[in-house]
Amino acid sequence: MSPPRALVLAGFGINCQEETAAAWNMAGAQARVVHMNDLLQGHVSLRDFQVFTLPGGFSFGDDLGSGKVLANKFRFQRMPSGGTLESELRFHVERGGYVLGICNGFQALVKMGLLPGLEPGGQQATLTHNLSGRFEDRWVHCKVDPATHSPFLRGLDMLHLPVRHAEGRLLLRDESTRRAVLEQHLCCMEYCDAGGVSTRTYPANPNGSQLNCAALCDPSGRILGMMPHPEAFLSLYNHPDWPSLKRANPHISQDGQGLVIFRNLVANLEGSTRRPPRSSQH
């Protein structure tokens, strides 16, 4: 059986495509980096892939708000078929495909209206300026909602991942949206302290997101957006304090915690029953 195929978007200021493609390849998928123009002009079809990935970066310089111009190209630029990339993405999910947006990619998914995905069309949330008023570039602790139905996060508990963003604060449109997100467990990962307690307190929460949200999925579980960068933690040796982790646990996995997110989805696509062990890096 051929490995699942993952499309990794590139172009217009996206700059994390190579490490994101490496993550999919290391996880057992077959990744292909594709410039957005090749999709828009019909040279490459999303229908040939099981996973669509919007990596991190600074698409269009974030000049009109992070991810906004990228989202508008998805929503409004017509392809030779007459449709849009947004409509292709929606069809991709309807036919059983998956979407992962990381940092800038998360911002674009929110501004397209694909997340939290409570209603067709229209923006239900935004990702805006950090309450700190600065670009945050460091590692944070996150805890996964055990009730999430996102296969990307299956079996995970706590993660330690890097963030690097200036506009990561999630704001939901209104109280009814907030209730729906909570009731459906769409806030699938929260910022927490080192003990695993969810918090909105800075600096453990780097941006002040409502619900302490670090990741959001849609009701199907097939679309996941997250602010931390899992593709930046593919090996234990990516961690800034790997020597201490190694001394504390000589048998610790050489894999980074971020890699497990990609492996989860590949295992799900392959119909495997194997589950990665819970993290032991804390």
| The pLDDT of residue 273 is above 50 | no
The full set of domains in the chain, from first to last, is 5-269 (3.40.50.880)
- With 50 as the cut, is the pLDDT of residue 175 above it? yes
Q: Is 231 a catalytic residue?
A: yes
**Which amino acid is it at 59?**
S
For range 174-179, the mean pLDDT: 97
Is 229 a known active-site residue?
yes
Q: Estimate the crossing angle of helix 68-76 against helix 104-112, to 10 degrees.
A: 50
Q: Residues 166-187: what's their mean pLDDT?
A: 97
Catalytic annotation, pick one of 103, 187, 192, 217: 103
* Residue tagged active-site, from 141, 160, 165, 229: 229
The whole-angstrom separation of Cα 52 and Cα 222 is: 11
pTM of the model: 0.94
- Close Cβ partners of 160 (under 8 Å, ≥ 6 residues apart): 139, 140, 141, 142, 233, 239, 257, 281, 282
For the segment 31-45, the average pLDDT, to the nearest whole number, is: 97
Mean pLDDT of the chain: 94
Given a contact cutoff of 8 angstroms between Cβ atoms, the answer to whether 223 and 98 are in contact is yes
Active-site residue 103, yes or no?
yes
Q: Region 137-145: what's the mean pLDDT?
A: 98
pLDDT at 160: 97
pLDDT in tens, 230-270: 999 999 999 999 999 999 999 999 999 999 999 999 999 99
Whether 92 contacts 99, CB under 8 Å:
yes
In angstroms, what CA-CA distances link 40 with 15, 37, 83, 187, 252? 19, 5, 10, 31, 44
Which of 19, 86, 190, 231 is catalytic? The answer is: 231
